[in-house]
Homo-oligomer: A and B are copies of this chain.
Amino acid sequence: MASMLSMENPVFVSYAIAAALMILKIMGQGWMTVVLMLKTDAGLLNPEDLRPSPANRSPRPEQLDPHPVVERSRRMQRNDLENIPAFLVCGLLFVSVEPPFWAAVLLFVLFVLTRLAHTLAYATAQNHEVRAIFYSIGSLVIMIMAVWVLAVAVF
């Protein structure tokens, strides 16, 4: 019998696609923060970043103040870190309990779409409720998978 955790298992393939996309999402948010720091010329975190250097030719003390645009990207990244690593591991565990293909694809797609929608809602400063809906669905997806894994493991 082939391992469940291999590219021969369609459920694993769908997990691998969702996981790779979400990993690119985490890393992409980090790069977005860098781009916004360069664009606003602000949002630095460290005293040494005020030394004159190729990336900062005319340093000013206020560059160390929190900049709303950069801080927004950092909050988005923090929200990713509160959700995506748990999804990555929970999804892998979910694959190991051999769920129906449709259930796995449904949950993986739901998580990826609501996370991207959350990012878009956050980046464009939509109302709290809009973000909350996308956050909640993604969070529920993870919890459903975790409870499913628990149920299979315990019984």
A residues touching B (Cβ–Cβ < 8 Å)? 1-7, 12-13, 16-17, 19-21, 23-24, 26-27, 30-31, 34, 44-49, 51, 53-56, 68, 72, 75, 77, 81-86, 88-90, 92-93, 96-98, 122, 125-129, 132, 139, 142-143, 146-147, 149-150, 152-154
Contact = CB atoms under 8 A, between A and B. Distances in A.
Label chain A's interface by main secondary structure.
helix
Identical copies in the complex: 3
Given A27-B142, A82-B77, A55 B20 contact: no
Given A27-B83, A34-B132, 16 more contacts: A3-B3, A5-B96, A7-B153, A19-B90, A19-B93, A20-B153, A23-B142, A24-B146, A26-B82, A30-B82, A30-B83, A46-B75, A54-B129, A85-B88, A86-B88, A88-B89
